[in-house]
Amino acid sequence: MVLDGKYGYVNKDGKEVIPLIYEFADTFIEDVARVSSRHEYGFIDKKGNVIIPLRYSYAEVFSEGLAKVKYNERYGFIDKQGNEVIPCKYEDARSFTKGLANVKLNGKRFYIDKTGEEVNVGI
């Protein structure tokens, strides 16, 4: 729900269940929602608890258990506990699809698996 430019969540009866305090709030995907405030992104659970602090300059929704985040102008991937599973070192990155993510490092594009290892996809 949006009111006066602030986002929050209401239940089926229209009762506010998560206060309207965010500049942006996404739908819940994989039981978490991406939110932002003061141009920093993080994630909350369905009770409104911040499970991943709002510290990233950009974040995408979770895909296959990992979310792409941007920190210090570099991209990496976190899990739902906020652990940086794949370090924020890439110039560009795409979300995981079928176990792989396309990334760019030092001007070179390639695929990585969920451990961050480079994968030859034979294209």
Tell me which of 1.10.287, 2.40.128, 3.40.50, 1.10.3470 is the CATH number of domain 2-119: 2.40.128
Q: What is the pLDDT of residue 4?
A: 86
CA distance 67 to 59: 7
Q: List, for residues 10-41, the tens digit of each pLDDT value.
A: 999 989 999 999 999 999 998 999 999 999 99
Residue spans of the domains in the chain: they are 2-119
3-state secondary structure of 29: strand
Q: What is the pLDDT of residue 123?
A: 57
CB 73 within 8 Å of CB 40:
no
The full length of the chain comes to 123
Q: What is the pLDDT of residue 65?
A: 94
pLDDT > 90: percent of the chain: 89
**What parts of the chain have a pLDDT lower than 50?**
none
CA R_g for the chain:
16
